[in-house]
A and B are shown apart, each in its own frame.
Chain A
Amino acid sequence: MQVTMTVNGETVTREIEGRMLLVHFLRDELGLTGTHWGCDTSNCGTCVTWLDGEPVKSCTVLAAMAGGREVRTVEGLEQDGVLDPVQEGFMRCHGLQCGFCTPGMLMTARALLDRDDDPDEDTIREAISGQICRCTGYTTIVRSVQWAAKAQRDAASADAEPVGSES
């Protein structure tokens, strides 16, 4: 069957088997290998991408179900050479080690900060509780998301301040 969807802002069309999973479509058909696969049971969350703005586990979504919809992956976080604050936060706060769960964690963190610009620790833990990290023990991931939240609040308040009386 033929499927057409938007991935990171680009329209793609491919001929696929109807049973193909979105995670395999992204990785094998489009070469977007930032999205990982880690279990068969929707437990690990290394495959988290966005579908129409909501985080989903792409191992549990058929590529066909994404037809006509918008997919965003970790490769779509960096905009015009500028890192997303969550990417910056994970680097600064050692929110990753082997890097395998990281893309999924980043996508969930971005979605969280889009609806809550100052989440507390419990909120962050709840948000990433559908995902497993075997390396970090999660404390540094919490710190990373908090760093990103603060960075984007600071940036927003800097934008809101008047630049100068004559402008």
Chain B
Amino acid sequence: MTATDRPPVPEDLEHVDNDQHPVGHGRMLRKEDPRFIRGMGHYVDDIQLPGMLHLAILRSPVAHARIVSVDTTAAQAHPKVKAVITGADLAEKGLAWMPTLSNDVQAVLATDKVRFQGQEVAFVVAEDRYAARDALELIDVDYDILPPVVDVRRALAPDAPVIRDDLEGKADNHCFDWETGDRAATDAVFEKADVVVTEDIVYPRVHPAPMETCGCVADYERVSGKLTLWTTSQAPHAHRTVYALVSGLPEHKIRVISPDIGGGFGNKVPIYPGYVCAIVASLVIGKPVKWMEDRTENLVSTGFARDYVMRGEIAATRDGKILAVRTHVLADHGAFNGTAAPIKYPAGFFGVFTGSYDLEAAYCSMTAVYTNKAPGGVAYACSFRITEAVYLIERLVDCLAYDLQVDPVDLRRRNLIRPEQFPYTTRTGWVYDSGEYERALDLALDLAGYDDLRREQEEKRARGELMGIGVAFFTEAVGAGPRKDMDILGLGMNDGSELRIHPTGKAVLRVSCMSQGQGHETTFAQIVAEELGIPPADIEVVNGDTDQTPFGLGTYGSRSTPVSGAAAALVSRKVRDKAQIIASGMLEVSVADLEWTKGAFAVKGDPTRSVTIQDIAMRAHGAGDLPDGLEGALEAQICYNPSNLTYPFGAYVCVVDVDPGTAEVKVRRFVAVDDCGTRINPMIIEGQVHGGLADGVGMALMEMISFDEDGNCIAGSLMDYLIPTALEVPHWETGHTVTPSPHHPIGAKGIGESATVGSPPAVVNAVVDALKPFGIRHADMPLTPSRVWDAMQGRPTPPI
């Protein structure tokens, strides 16, 4: 279908006249764009400080080896080199190891062994970035090569080499075990079920690969004792606390600044050795030091995502009532457990693997292991492993539909949680806040023209053409999280917000979350505008600077709107409460006699007597009297602790054509209906969905971080790690329903990762559906032409 004969969908038309400026929620152009379209964004690598030096890292060329010796003599002698630091040097200062976000430890620079290809071994600080790279070539490291653990399925074999011999008493590669659900109850349901479908499903290792790689500029001022770190961090406050704990610098003497960030997707949540190296270098040399990864360093060493090998089972009655799901997961955590997830949730929120269905029982057991691969695990817009969970259940439901020979939509419809069942407690203990699932499903099918598509498919199959239609329904759990349940390294997952209204009625909102392109400067101004009636243009949003913003855990897991967004709304209401008291004094009536219309308080029954929020702001700062006991100024601060997570959901339909001769998959159409509760800026929401859909197509068809048998990463450049361009993705068709969250102050649920979670199963379901004539029930991602071809020949191969 070309652009001209495509039927318009509602959101295609909304971009017309989108330059209105709503005082509150609504489509509004972004406040951050004027600088970006002029090339005036301010990213870490744009920072140039007087006397700044450049740091480059020497990385291990092998996956597993003992370090025999490191000779830096020649590098030290390079005329432009200021310092060469090895693991042994850091060990002397007690800085060779650092904590990970999962309470494991990770080597800043290797001292004893290297444990993955690309691991940090030494660093050079030089006058310019070229000289720093040159000097890396002059460092001579002697490695004693050890056999690597590459295949996760062999990590616990008795003869597997032990990777983490740095941990006392460690004699195997076991990382952790975890389980959820009721094993006995689930086994009982499986025993009596008419139908049980079992499938081995792999979610391969992928990488967020933001267009801007990771990096920082560290600037330690000896006189003041203050360290300023400009860095690519999605969580500047959490990073500051960890740096204080690692370095011994007092926390108030550390300022972490995230300037504009060129995409994050979870890749910029962890603390990487490079940041610590730059800090150490600046402390030692006393000058600002810049470190920027190159693309290979980003792909081979920073936070990967997924890498779950899952055996899924689903039990049902013969007529299609799903009874239970059961799964065992083998999780590859790489050489160090660098997962960024709440401490009580080592598998993130994988516990929502029961999906959007009303079941009798569910059980999951998980074994996590170490391998000779880069650390990480939670990244790439996955909402703390929900993308794996949703992929598992949505594939299993399609496998069940295949075996029962029923339409996958009918099977889903029969089993979806019904609106009257909310709040719904799942069999693994999650309390879904609100949902009208069938309404979203119906809209998606309607936009896609599902029945027509099935007719078209039937005709094409008769002609030998391979057309597939894939449907997926997902429920997310985002907005972590309630402090009684959730913390990262002991830090509660709450977020602060501070709002000041200046005398002339202009406002500054300071938030602890951190935009990486999501448009917080716009969305958060709109949240305040909706509450106070101040135009968004008059509201400055500050984020990303620990000296200027209240504490909070940052932006990942789609938590900005659910947590910081709630904080912004509530701090606005706190300001409004104070404004009401001031207004009562100005209008000489009691507080109870005032009513609020957006932007002004008026006397009930006499709307001619009113004061605007701007009038009130001036009075708050002026010389006149204020009501008894009231302090001057008009400002407030809060820290928001969510009572529950929020549960966005959506229904996706994907249409693919598979070339029978080349096995190439073409995504012809993709329809996405999302429900993220209250919609603050529909334009930004649509953009978030589009980006996630492209990610999903990438993961389903192209992207994989793969290794050879020696543990060499063979996806170390963008020539090998394939990311969709404009040619691999279709024109997105989107729609929405609105089911507000009952516990969020404005009913919003978050949207950042919905599409990344929901789209991979939709694409894979479509491809497998296209291959139905070959008797194929499942094939693993990424569905590249060669893998699809193998599947068509009856020899599917699981990815490694």
Residues of A within 8 A of B (CB): 17, 19-20, 24, 27-28, 31-41, 43-44, 46, 73-75, 77-78, 83, 87, 90-94, 96-103, 106, 120-122, 124-126, 128-143
Q: If the complex has contacts A17-B130, A128-B726, A131-B725, are A103 and B39 also in contact, measured as CB distance less than 8 A?
A: yes
* Selected contact of A102 from candidates B36, B45, B731, CB within 8 Å: B36
* Selected contact of B265 from candidates A106, A124, A134, CB within 8 Å: A134
Shortest B5–chain A CB gap in Å is 11
Is the beta-carbon distance between A99 and B41 smaller than 8 angstroms? yes
| 30 examples of A-B residue contacts, CB within 8 angstroms | A31-B48, A34-B38, A34-B40, A36-B211, A37-B45, A38-B213, A40-B295, A40-B296, A40-B717, A41-B719, A46-B211, A75-B38, A77-B38, A83-B37, A90-B33, A92-B18, A94-B687, A98-B260, A98-B517, A99-B260, A100-B262, A103-B39, A121-B3, A122-B2, A134-B208, A134-B723, A135-B687, A137-B691, A138-B729, A142-B726
Residues of chain A contacted by B516 (CB below 8 angstroms): 98
Is the beta-carbon distance between A96 and B265 smaller than 8 angstroms? no
CA distance A31 to B32 in the complex (A): 21
Residues of chain B contacted by A27 (CB below 8 angstroms): 45-46
* Selected contact of B211 from candidates A77, A129, A133, A141, CB within 8 Å: A133
Judged by a CB distance under 8 angstroms, whether B19 is at the interface is yes
Shortest B282–chain A CB gap in Å is 19
Residues of chain A contacted by B692 (CB below 8 angstroms): 137
Is the beta-carbon distance between A38 and B295 smaller than 8 angstroms? yes
Judged by a CB distance under 8 angstroms, whether B344 is at the interface is no
Q: If the complex has contacts A40-B717, A138-B729, are A99 and B32 also in contact, measured as CB distance less than 8 A?
A: yes
Q: If the complex has contacts A121-B2, A135-B691, A139-B731, are A78 and B38 also in contact, measured as CB distance less than 8 A?
A: yes
CA distance A113 to B739 in the complex (A): 42
Q: If the complex has contacts A73-B39, A106-B37, A135-B687, are A91 and B29 also in contact, measured as CB distance less than 8 A?
A: yes
Would you list which residues of chain B between 35 and 91 have a CB under 8 Å from chain A?
35-41, 43, 45-46, 48
CA distance A142 to B690 in the complex (A): 12
Residues of chain B contacted by A77 (CB below 8 angstroms): 38
CA distance A120 to B296 in the complex (A): 35
Shortest A33–chain B CB gap in Å is 4
Main secondary structure of the interface of B (DSSP, over half): loop
CA distance A87 to B39 in the complex (A): 10
Judged by a CB distance under 8 angstroms, whether B711 is at the interface is no
* Selected contact of A39 from candidates B32, B517, B718, B727, CB within 8 Å: B718
Q: If the complex has contacts A38-B213, A139-B732, are A125 and B43 also in contact, measured as CB distance less than 8 A?
A: no
Shortest A145–chain B CB gap in Å is 10
Residues of chain A contacted by B261 (CB below 8 angstroms): 98
Is the beta-carbon distance between A139 and B718 smaller than 8 angstroms? no
Judged by a CB distance under 8 angstroms, whether B34 is at the interface is yes
Is the beta-carbon distance between B518 and A19 smaller than 8 angstroms? no
Q: If the complex has contacts A73-B39, A101-B211, A121-B3, are A134 and B725 also in contact, measured as CB distance less than 8 A?
A: no
Q: If the complex has contacts A34-B39, A46-B211, A102-B37, are A94 and B686 also in contact, measured as CB distance less than 8 A?
A: yes
* Selected contact of B725 from candidates A92, A128, A140, CB within 8 Å: A128
Is the beta-carbon distance between A39 and B717 smaller than 8 angstroms? yes
Is the beta-carbon distance between B726 and A97 smaller than 8 angstroms? no
Shortest B755–chain A CB gap in Å is 8
Residues of chain B contacted by A31 (CB below 8 angstroms): 48
CA distance A93 to B19 in the complex (A): 9
For the complex of A and B, 9 pairs with smallest distance between CB atoms: A34-B39, A98-B517, A100-B262, A99-B36, A137-B690, A74-B39, A137-B694, A43-B718, A97-B517
CA distance A55 to B526 in the complex (A): 38
Name B210's closest neighbour in chain A (CB-CB).
A134
Judged by a CB distance under 8 angstroms, whether B416 is at the interface is no
Residues of chain A contacted by B727 (CB below 8 angstroms): 125-126, 129
Name B208's closest neighbour in chain A (CB-CB).
A134
Q: If the complex has contacts A19-B130, A94-B15, A99-B32, are A44 and B211 also in contact, measured as CB distance less than 8 A?
A: yes
Is the beta-carbon distance between A129 and B726 smaller than 8 angstroms? yes
* Selected contact of B723 from candidates A32, A97, A130, A132, CB within 8 Å: A132
Residues of chain B contacted by A93 (CB below 8 angstroms): 15, 18
CA distance A139 to B729 in the complex (A): 9
* Selected contact of B726 from candidates A19, A75, A103, A138, CB within 8 Å: A138
Judged by a CB distance under 8 angstroms, whether B212 is at the interface is yes
Would you list which residues of chain B between 125 and 150 have a CB under 8 Å from chain A?
129-130
Residues of chain A contacted by B36 (CB below 8 angstroms): 96, 99, 102
Name A21's closest neighbour in chain B (CB-CB).
B130
CA distance A100 to B260 in the complex (A): 9
Is the beta-carbon distance between B29 and A137 smaller than 8 angstroms? no
Judged by a CB distance under 8 angstroms, whether B534 is at the interface is no
Is the beta-carbon distance between A135 and B729 smaller than 8 angstroms? no
* Selected contact of B46 from candidates A33, A90, A124, CB within 8 Å: A33
Is the beta-carbon distance between B33 and A91 smaller than 8 angstroms? yes
Judged by a CB distance under 8 angstroms, whether B715 is at the interface is no
Shortest B135–chain A CB gap in Å is 15
Is the beta-carbon distance between B729 and A92 smaller than 8 angstroms? no
Judged by a CB distance under 8 angstroms, whether B467 is at the interface is no
Is the beta-carbon distance between A92 and B29 smaller than 8 angstroms? yes
CA distance A166 to B91 in the complex (A): 86
Name A107's closest neighbour in chain B (CB-CB).
B39
Residues of chain A contacted by B210 (CB below 8 angstroms): 98, 100, 134
Residues of chain B contacted by A36 (CB below 8 angstroms): 43, 45, 211-212, 262
Shortest A149–chain B CB gap in Å is 13
Residues of chain B contacted by A83 (CB below 8 angstroms): 37
Name A34's closest neighbour in chain B (CB-CB).
B39
Of listed A46, A73, A93, residue having the most chain B CB within 10 A:
A93
Residues of chain B contacted by A17 (CB below 8 angstroms): 130
Judged by a CB distance under 8 angstroms, whether B743 is at the interface is no
Residues of chain B contacted by A137 (CB below 8 angstroms): 690-694, 729, 732
CA distance A102 to B41 in the complex (A): 10
Is the beta-carbon distance between A98 and B684 smaller than 8 angstroms? no
Is the beta-carbon distance between B37 and A98 smaller than 8 angstroms? no
Judged by a CB distance under 8 angstroms, whether B209 is at the interface is yes
Shortest A14–chain B CB gap in Å is 14
Residues of chain B contacted by A135 (CB below 8 angstroms): 263, 517, 687, 691
Judged by a CB distance under 8 angstroms, whether B294 is at the interface is yes
Judged by a CB distance under 8 angstroms, whether B776 is at the interface is no
